[in-house]
Amino acid sequence: MAKKISQLNAATELQGPESFALVQSSETKKATISQVINYIHNTDITASDGVNLDLDDSLYDDSRMIKLSWSGGSGNMVLSLPDATTSKNTNRIIRIVTNGGFNTNTRVRLTPIAGQTLDGSSNYYELNVSYEGLMLWSDGSEWFIIQKKA
């Protein structure tokens, strides 16, 4: 006899290759965690002078890959990192890349929220190079830069 979802044991520490059932267009299909993550977590953000954007907004809860495009003339944009201490951000990885519209006069400043750090610093990290990339990880108390490309 089939069990209700509420009767199933909770999964622990999903690694990515495990299969699970999901309903897509009224049909039950097989998927992996890796497939779901790759599908739902890409975000495009248009950066421009004077904009302050908070990645802690629920709109960005599922963002794992963020592509930044610059619009307009020279200037600075502030991109505030999510709260590293919330359960939704513990062990979260965020990748950020810039498109070809960036230069030394167009800057996005990745800024930790008050009381938190990015690589041990409360200061911002500046992205101002075309095709620059950064991978960040939260351990549940702060953000770490774990990979850079420039």
Q: Is residue 9 part of a domain?
A: no
Residue numbers of the domain that contains 86 = 42-149
Q: Is residue 112 part of a domain?
A: yes
Q: Is residue 2 part of a domain?
A: no
CA 38 – CA 71 distance, rounded (Å) = 27
Q: Domains in the chain: how many in total? A: 1
Q: Is residue 48 part of a domain?
A: yes
Q: What is the pLDDT of residues 96-135, one digit of tens each?
A: 999 999 999 999 999 999 999 999 999 999 999 999 999 9
Residue 46, pLDDT above cutoff 90: yes
Q: Is residue 96 part of a domain?
A: yes
What is the arrangement of strands in the sheet containing 75-80, beginning at the earlier edge strand? 52-54, 75-80, 106-111, 125-127
Q: Is residue 84 part of a domain?
A: yes
| pLDDT band with cut points at 50, 70 and 90 for residue 40 | low
The token pair that represents 15 in the structure block: 């690694």
* pTM recorded for the entire structure: 0.73
Angle at the Cα of 125 from the Cα atoms of 95 and 114, rounded to 5 degrees:
100
Q: Is residue 10 part of a domain?
A: no
Q: Is residue 82 part of a domain?
A: yes
pLDDT, the chain, mean: 89
- Looking at residue 79, which CATH number applies to its domain? 2.60.120
| Residue showing tokens 């690589």 | 119
